[in-house]
Amino acid sequence: MAKIKKKGTSGQAKNYITRTQAVRKLQISLPDFRRLCIFKGIYPREPRNKKKASKTSTPNTTFYYTKDIQYLLHEPLLNKFRDQKALAKKIARSLGRGEVSDAARLEKNHAPKLTLDHVIKERYPTFIDALRDLDDALSLLFLFATLPSDKHVPPKTIALCQRLCHEFQHYLIVTNSLRKSFLSIKGIYYQATIQGQDIMWLVPYRFVQRVNGDVDYRIMATFVDFYTTLLGFVNFRLYSTIGLRYPPKFDTRSDENGAELAAFTLEGRTVGDKPKAIEPSKGQTNGSNKEVSKEVQAKVDKVIKSAGLDQTKDEQAMDTTEESTDAIDRFEPTAPEADTLPQPDMSGNEAGALFAPFVFYISREAPKAPLEFILRSFGCKRIGWDAVMGDGAFTHDETDPRITHQIVDRPQLPAESLPAVPAASENAVQKVKPGTRIPGRTYVQPQWVWDCINDGKLLRADLYGPGATLPPHLSPWVKPSRGGYDPRASLAEQEEEGEAEMAEDVEDAEDSDEEMADDAAAVNEKPAEESEDESVDGGMDVAGTDDDESDSEEGSDEEADEAFGGFEEEAASESEDDDEAARNQHQRELEAEAAGLPFSSSGAKDEAAKKKTSQSKKLAAKKRQEEEELERQKMMMSRKKRKLLEKMMHSNKKQSDEAAKLRSKRRKLEKGEKGSQK
């Protein structure tokens, strides 16, 4: 007889463990268990069958892998958590006895310090793994760097996040690793390429943040502790690869004055170190070395010339090939109907030379921090701003003749509404009246900087002038698909065949319906006396008369006849339309003759209407043929392929409908703008 298996010893019941069981097995509190799971990267799991995995009848149960919890038993952080718990008991005992000094001493000198170095090494065996997981870390640290200090968020944590974020930005500036950026509702998205890895993060706008109590800041603080350790390791490795000392020098006084990025000073590892001189060997002097080297070099040159191996030409050829390989290849489509391949981004040299020859001045109303970071990342070395915005500027004088571009974000106002500028003293910087333009300088709005770096080239500055209607700011990561709406392209390039004519016909029909409705409303508006007379004489009809019934019967017979139509209905309708059009044209010619006008002016509208009707009929017939052909093809398909085709057609139709709706809105806007200009 086979041995009976005990319930809960195999299968899902053995592979999964509940959170309560895990906490009891590790012998720690629930908050410490959460912290430990966040540090180690262990998350709840969902079993296939909760009834088999759970030994209880509780439906809402959090499960973990049993192997993960078994792995946590040997974690060194468990001892730190237990030491913290023992210390908390000692402090509570001292406070209960009234020994406040002993409690303060225990908290200051005997508090165990958590180190997450070994956790970082375990979770990220290679540096590429750490770079791949850097998106969430940067987003969270940039968020905490903008939060106000509170009881939930201590100022030390905010200062640490700011310092690490500025160090990372300095690396991007030095290496020109920033590639794209986008202004969204949530904040500013950035994308950088570091060692072949694309890293994207979100930086919130610098508005006044309100810390709500809905967020569990204990869990957020745990993530911040882990991510600050991770970013510190990453920054050290990145600085070491380019030969810079880490951490860079930090000027606290300059940072308090609002310098931000300018408060850091980067230094190389060999700065200030004298290179070691090479000692000559015994029995030789410096002069003999020089003479020997000259003699040897002359002999080598003779041998090379005699053999015909001249290296200068080869070196020049190598240099030209190296210069040619620096440029990034572009993938051109071989056919117009072929798929468009994603183009590679710009190289570091191109990014470093985009704004290199310019000197920028940031006005007070423009966002200084993101503009400074982007401009420096793309090669600009000299950036100025007003002294109110902080230290670290190239110049605080707005009238400096070296400034080539000024970034403004306020519209042009009349001179009468501008305030007067107070007279400046001799040592003070000369003030410029708001709204004035210095000749020889290009004024642009901040969006010009973002659009230039996303396109990889300098765009026309006149389209981004002060007070101008800006072009659409599109996400650089969303490419326009085939059949979709592209705001940058013109309507003529995106419209389907006959779409504009059909839209005009619909608008004309809507206008005619509105006119008929207005006429009907005017006819229905009668004086009160007439309406009273009609109500007295006519009264209210309760039932229809015999004449009405006969009329309704005749109408129903006519409707039935019209519903059948016959086989030659289309040809007959076309001939009737032609006859009616001819009669209308003849009538208009007679009216034009009586008015003394030429016939051509009256017949032009008729011809245009005829063309429109013929085009619409041709388009309808073509569409009908395509639908019939598609139905015939679907009949030859299997059921599975037919279902797949219907899904594809549904998604394509949804996309085309959205694009057509956006095109119609744009068409109305352009029509309204043209009407206002007239």
Paired strand residues for 198: 193
Domain membership of residue 201 (yes or no) is yes
Domain membership of residue 171 (yes or no) is yes
Answer yes or no: do 260 and 157 share one domain: yes
Q: Which pLDDT does position 485 carry in this prediction? A: 75
Answer yes or no: do 126 and 226 share one domain: yes
Confidence at 619, pLDDT banded by 50, 70, 90: confident
Domain membership of residue 419 (yes or no) is no
Confidence at 234, pLDDT banded by 50, 70, 90: very high
* Close Cβ partners of 604 (under 8 Å, ≥ 6 residues apart): none
Answer yes or no: do 121 and 249 share one domain: yes
Answer yes or no: do 367 and 467 share one domain: yes
Answer yes or no: do 82 and 205 share one domain: no
Domain boundary among the residues 265, 294, 318 is at 265
Asked if the model's pLDDT at residue 251 lies above 70, the reply is yes
Domain boundary among the residues 248, 265, 282 is at 265
Domain membership of residue 45 (yes or no) is yes
Asked if the model's pLDDT at residue 69 lies above 90, the reply is yes
The CATH number covering residue 366 comes to: 3.40.50.10190
Render pLDDT for 41-50 as a digit per residue (tens, 0 to 9). Answer: 999 998 887 7
Render pLDDT for 156-186 as a digit per residue (tens, 0 to 9). Answer: 999 999 999 999 999 999 999 999 999 999 9
Average of per-residue pLDDT across 420-425: 59
Asked if the model's pLDDT at residue 53 lies above 50, the reply is yes
Answer yes or no: do 137 and 63 share one domain: no
Average of per-residue pLDDT across 335-348: 61
Asked if the model's pLDDT at residue 307 lies above 60, the reply is no
Domain membership of residue 105 (yes or no) is yes
Q: Which pLDDT does position 325 carry in this prediction? A: 44
Contact 61, 84 (CB under 8 A): no
User: Which tokens belong to 419?
Assistant: 């305030």
Q: Which pLDDT does position 337 carry in this prediction? A: 59
Contact 161, 229 (CB under 8 A): no
Which range among 199-203, 297-301, 527-531 shows the weakest confidence by mean pLDDT? 527-531
Average of per-residue pLDDT across 471-498: 75
Report the percent of the chain where pLDDT is more than 70. Answer: 67
Q: Which pLDDT does position 645 carry in this prediction? A: 87
Q: What is the spatial distance between Cα 533 and Cα 526, in angstroms, rounded to a whole number?
A: 11
Q: Which pLDDT does position 350 carry in this prediction? A: 77
Confidence at 113, pLDDT banded by 50, 70, 90: confident
Q: Which pLDDT does position 338 carry in this prediction? A: 60
Answer yes or no: do 61 and 134 share one domain: no
**Which of 391, 393, 363 is CA-nearest to residue 259?**
391
Q: Which pLDDT does position 539 carry in this prediction? A: 47
In our burial notation (b when 16+ CB lie closer than 10 A, e otherwise), range 291-316 reads eeeeeeeeeeeeeeeeeeeeeeeeee
Confidence at 59, pLDDT banded by 50, 70, 90: low
Asked if the model's pLDDT at residue 601 lies above 50, the reply is no
Domain membership of residue 58 (yes or no) is yes
Q: Which DSSP string do the residues of 262-301 spell out, in sequence order?
A: GGEE--BTTTTPPPPPPPPPTT--HHHHHHHHHHHHHHHH
Answer yes or no: do 213 and 141 share one domain: yes
Asked if the model's pLDDT at residue 12 lies above 70, the reply is yes
Residue 144 burial (CB < 10 Å; 0-12/13-18/19+)?
Answer: buried
Answer positive or negative: Cα dihedral of 296, 298, 303, 307. positive
Average of per-residue pLDDT across 351-365: 90
Answer yes or no: do 89 and 153 share one domain: no
Which one has a higher pLDDT value, 226 or 301?
226
Q: Which pLDDT does position 8 carry in this prediction? A: 67
Average of per-residue pLDDT across 206-231: 89
Asked if the model's pLDDT at residue 416 lies above 70, the reply is no
| Residues comprising the chain, all counted | 678
Domain boundary among the residues 225, 240, 265 is at 265
Q: Which pLDDT does position 313 carry in this prediction? A: 43
Answer yes or no: do 104 and 197 share one domain: no
Average of per-residue pLDDT across 194-220: 89
449: containing domain: 353-413+433-478
Domain count, the chain: 3
The bridge status of strand 197-203 relative to strand 188-194 is antiparallel
Domain membership of residue 395 (yes or no) is yes
User: Which tokens belong to 141?
Assistant: 């640290």
Contact 408, 363 (CB under 8 A): yes
Confidence at 323, pLDDT banded by 50, 70, 90: very low
Average pLDDT taken over every residue of the chain = 77
Render pLDDT for 366-385 as a digit per residue (tens, 0 to 9). Answer: 999 999 999 999 999 999 99
Which one has a higher pLDDT value, 526 or 352?
352
**Which of 175, 356, 167 is CA-nearest to residue 265?**
167
Average of per-residue pLDDT across 610-615: 69
Residue 35 burial (CB < 10 Å; 0-12/13-18/19+)?
Answer: buried
Q: What is the spatial distance between Cα 335 and Cα 247, in angstroms, rounded to a whole number?
A: 53
Average of per-residue pLDDT across 467-496: 78
User: Which tokens belong to 329?
Assistant: 């290849």
Asked if the model's pLDDT at residue 620 lies above 60, the reply is yes
CA angle 119, 124, 127 (to 5 degrees): 130
Answer yes or no: do 100 and 141 share one domain: no
Which one has a higher pLDDT value, 614 or 285?
614
Answer yes or no: do 190 and 102 share one domain: no
Domain membership of residue 346 (yes or no) is no
Which range among 31-35, 212-216, 438-442, 610-614 shows the weakest confidence by mean pLDDT? 610-614
Average of per-residue pLDDT across 339-347: 61
